Amino acid sequence: MGKKLTYWVLGIAITGIAIYYLTKDRLSKNQRQVVFQANAEADKWLNYNENSPEIGSIINQYWCEGVGMCNFSDSQVISQGFNDEYPWSAAFISWVMKSTGSDSFPTNASHSNYVIETTINREVNEDDEFTAWDINEQKPMPSDIVCKRRLDSTATYGNVPSGTPLHCDIVTSVSKNSIEVIGGNINNKVERKTISLNQDGFVNESKYFVIIKNKT
């Protein structure tokens, strides 16, 4: 094979690979922005936790811009015990969705309440931008949200009392056997973790019971 032909073939191969990785998840601009913002927040917190003085304004941003609770001070939100009384993981999810232009997401200080709202969305119109499904009904994609029971919660899909203790995470990447997610108030910070998938591509960890699909 001549040198020019070799370069031509390599060029086509490299271009094809690049196109594949850019389009393989078929993410919209908004979905890509959700993933980008979640990753940016996780990186921001690498050397801090919720009691670090440098982080007070960030937690306050989640509360104020995410769910409209603007009555806390920066020193208050990093004080010992405050985050036990006011867990901020739902405010974090709400802030990421709102800050990336996902205006139809039903932001709330409680995970349970936006799970309820997105479950209603599905009942009214399955093509709504945000709809909740049983964890075994939909495979996760980047920018989706997966939710699990906490503490003594017995919530199941379609049976989530308002205020029931839950935790939700944003899906940021998907591989054959697992997904990477990012959530707030994990080990007192914004943090990444890995969740396993079964052989059919569905979330395979028992406490996770709801997936909120992002169709923006």
Tell me, what's the pLDDT at 26? Answer: 85
The rounded distance, in Å, linking the Cα atoms of 78 and 50 is 6
pLDDT in tens, 92-126: 999 999 999 999 999 999 999 999 999 999 999 99
Query: How far apart (Å, rounded) are the C-alpha atoms in residues 92 and 211?
Result: 17
The whole-angstrom separation of Cα 147 and Cα 60 is: 23
Asked whether the beta carbons of 102 and 214 are under 8 A apart, the reply is yes
The domain ranges of the chain are 29-214
What does pTM read for this prediction? 0.88
Tell me what percent of the residues of the chain surpass a pLDDT of 70. Answer: 88
